[in-house]
Amino acid sequence: MWYRGGVLRDFVKYGTKPKYLYGIDLLEDRIEIAEDVSPNINFKCGDAPNLPYDDESFDIVVQFTVFTSVLKKEMKNDIAKEMLRVLKKEGIILWYDFSYNNPKNPDVKGIKKKEVVNLFPNCKFTFKRVTLAPPIVRFIAPRSWLLCYLFEKLSFLCTHYLVIIRKEKALNENNTGNRGRQSYT
């Protein structure tokens, strides 16, 4: 589960040494669970608008379904600024969040492309729709995993964005010529 440090453990699977991984959560009980499951990863209890890390500390900053749970615009802006602050010049923000409201949960609000772009000014974005809509999966998966796989290829049936966000300043220093461009897939 993501609240047990699962996203960070995935980085270990891909070859990252645990000592280079840091996770933060507002809820202390989630940090305790994550520390029990992954004692070799650095976890802290804290809030995202006030990250306890130095400027330009990280090559990758991961946001995994955080912004859809934050309903105040000012708070979203503060979190985005902090993410950019702790990101190295050449680093990336890896964003995964849903783009649609959940009709069964009024405490979350989907985020559209335009809002993501506005949260991270002067950045370059690569958007990809992922994650087949859960109601579709619940209906189709017991019948055919192959159909789930094929339906997920139809981006309009996917409910989340996977976004790579790069600081534009770093891009300009590398003379990429992609100033302010966005790619959409």
Where residue 67 sits, what CATH number does that domain have?
3.40.50.150
Mean pLDDT score across all residues of the chain: 88
pTM tops 0.85: no
Q: What is the predicted pLDDT for the residue at 185? A: 40
- d(C-alpha 79, C-alpha 48), whole Å: 5
CA dist 157 to 92, 110, 119, 137, Å? 27, 15, 25, 10
For residues 128 and 118, the answer to whether their CB atoms sit within 8 Å is: no
- pLDDT (0 to 100) of residue 8: 87
| Residue 103 within a domain | yes
User: Is residue 119 assigned to a domain?
Assistant: yes
Q: What is the pLDDT of residue 169?
A: 63
Domain assignment of residue 10, yes or no: no
Q: Identify the segments of the chain with pLDDT beneath 70.
A: 1-4, 169-185
Domain hosting residue 105, numbered range: 47-130+161-184
**Number of domains within the chain:** 1
Domain presence at residue 55: yes
- For residue 1, tell me if it sits in a domain: no
Specify the pLDDT at position 183: 43
Residue 6 included in any domain: no
| % pLDDT > 90, the chain | 64
- pLDDT, residue 9, reads 85
